Amino acid sequence: MRVFVTGSAGFIGYHLCEHLLAEGAEVIGLDAHDDYYDPALKEAREVRLRASPRFTAIRARLEAPEVLADLFGRHRPDMVVHLAAQAGVRHSIDNPRAYLQSNIIGTFELLEAARAHPPKHLLLASTSSVYGANKDMPYRETDKVDAQMSFYAASKKSTEAIAHSYAHLFGLPVTMFRFFTVYGPWGRPDMAPWLFTSAILAGQPIKVFNHGDMRRDFTYVTDLVRAIRLLMDAVPGDTPTGPEDSLSPVAPHRVVNIGNGAPVELGDFIAAIEAATGREAIRNMLPMQPGDVPATWADTTLLRRLTGYTPQTQVQDGVAAYVDWFRSYYG
């Protein structure tokens, strides 16, 4: 199997490529190594992937015209997993143009390349942030999602709609993932696990927003990657699998939540880091940040129906593994 993975030097992309290589797949990985966060971390991930002779690393930007069309024409991938994106809710308030370029135009270029050279299955990353102002939980893929709270979320919802149009017009089988608060080894430095762990180990205060009244459906990265791999084989067809299926009535297009299915209080997540580091956090309680939401919670019924799999890593175990990696990598 030949798989094209965008964002291959990113947090999730690295773990997915590693998993696919371990299975014996040929992986073509594209990443721009931009400086949104430390490029040295991306390079360290990619070095590990390049140790496999079945991994091809390509340094390029998604949105550059004809780059993806050329790569699809040369490599003819069986499967495409599109993870590359400009991430971060708060950064999208300050720099929305980066999200327009990478998330919307970049995804358009990918869909155009797939239209010219169709893979067996095209899988694209979205986010739980698209649920926005929805109050009913757990979030279901069939919920109406028209009230995004940040430009990041809006850009991802746009890619879901654009991909649907390509699935309808050109028969491209498309699965969209909505990820829920992914964490684990090799995680991004702009995310809460890194920020909390770094500050706690240094004896510095951590910022606790909404005065700690936050819940997140924390999903361990290897659970997420396992779900992606199984969904690669669940190609959307013509018939829904049940009443909870988000399969479009007019296109081979489906949306699937990937989460742990169990929201965790932010205070409990911090306590897990304290236990793993053996140090107590100094909490700086702050109000809610613009664009953020107080809680997320994935309904994983559809994921389980399609794959027979449900993520199961408990926060205490996942955090302990993350802290072990953090200490090893950063000394």
Mean pLDDT across the stretch 227-244? 94
In the beta sheet, which residues pair with residue 121? 79
The pLDDT, as a whole number, for residue 104 is: 97
Q: Is residue 82 part of a domain?
A: yes
Q: Is residue 277 part of a domain?
A: no
Q: What's the CATH number where 109 sits?
A: 3.40.50.720
CA distance 74 to 190: 35
Residue type, 66: E
Active site residue 14: no
Q: Is residue 77 part of a domain?
A: yes
Taking only the tens place, the pLDDT of each residue in 170-194 is 999 999 999 999 999 999 999 999 9
- The residue range of the domain holding 306 is 2-179+220-258+299-312
Q: Is residue 276 part of a domain?
A: no
Catalytic residue among 14, 37, 99, 152: 152
- The two tokens of residue 85 are 């994106």
User: Is the separation of the CB atoms in 235 and 173 below 8 Å?
Assistant: yes
Q: Is residue 203 part of a domain?
A: no
User: What residues contact residue 315 under an 8 Å CB cut-off, 6+ apart?
Assistant: 218, 264, 268, 269, 272
Predicted model pTM:
0.96
User: Is the separation of the CB atoms in 273 and 197 below 8 Å?
Assistant: yes
Taking only the tens place, the pLDDT of each residue in 198-217 is 999 999 999 999 999 999 99
Q: Is residue 293 part of a domain?
A: no
- Quick check: 90 pLDDT over 90? no
- Classify burial at 272, counting beta carbons within 10 Å of its beta carbon; exposed 0-12, middle 13-18, buried 19 or more: buried
User: What residues contact residue 263 under an 8 Å CB cut-off, 6+ apart?
Assistant: 137, 215, 216, 217, 295, 296, 297
The mean pLDDT value of the chain amounts to: 96
Q: What percent of the chain has pLDDT over 70?
A: 100
Q: How many domains does the chain have?
A: 1
- Quick check: 127 pLDDT over 90? yes
SS3 87: coil
User: What residues contact residue 94 under an 8 Å CB cut-off, 6+ apart?
Assistant: none
- The two tokens of residue 305 are 């129906």
Taking only the tens place, the pLDDT of each residue in 285-328 is 999 988 788 899 999 999 999 999 999 899 999 999 999 999 99
In the beta sheet, which residues pair with residue 56? 28
Give the helix ranges, DSSP H, for the chain: 11-23, 39-50, 67-75, 91-94, 96-99, 106-116, 151-170, 192-202, 221-232, 266-277, 301-307, 315-330
Taking only the tens place, the pLDDT of each residue in 52-71 is 999 999 999 999 989 999 99
The H-or-E segment that residue 137 falls in is none
